[in-house]
Amino acid sequence: MSQSHLDDLYEYVQERCLWQFFSRSWDREENIEGVLNQVVLLWSGKEPLRSTPMERLFYADALPIVSDVKSRFEWASKIPAEEVSFLIDGLKTRLTETVITRSTNRELSHHLY
């Protein structure tokens, strides 16, 4: 995995994906995990999970991401399936650090939510 590939994905998600900015930390974590797990499956050519309403929601968010990333970034179509998972794990870590761990939004962990 190239650091520049991770940077490309991170910038794309920060610019285009609102699901990472939900109002509670547990909701952000759930969306980061759920959507990006579906991205891994779709990008790797595996069958996505769609048996529950949440899995279908994550699938609906992941589908345009994979399509858009593959059309925007030349390297995305050439990356081996086993590297996709590693790349997305790095993206999950970076997103979690940015939008949850280092967030100064006090509503994320407010006791009334």
Digit-coded pLDDT (tens) for 34-67: 999 999 999 999 999 999 999 999 999 999 999 9
User: For 22, phi and psi rounded to 5 degrees?
Assistant: -60, 165
Please give the C-alpha separations between residue 98 and each of 14, 28, 103, in angstroms, as whole numbers. Answer: 10, 11, 6
Contact 83, 9 (CB under 8 A): no
pLDDT at 113 over 70: no
Three-state secondary structure readout of 42-100? HHCCCCCCCCCHHHHHHHHHHHHHHHHHHHHCHHHHCCCHHHHHHHHHHHHHHHHHHHH
Instruction: Name the band, by pLDDT with cuts 50, 70 and 90, for residue 106.
Output: confident
Report pLDDT for 108.
77
The mean pLDDT value of the chain amounts to 91
pTM for this entry: 0.91
pLDDT at 1 over 70: no
Sign of CA dihedral 51, 57, 62, 68: positive
Residue with more model confidence, 18 or 10: 10
Q: Which of 16-20, 35-39, 99-103, 109-113 has the lowest mean pLDDT?
A: 109-113
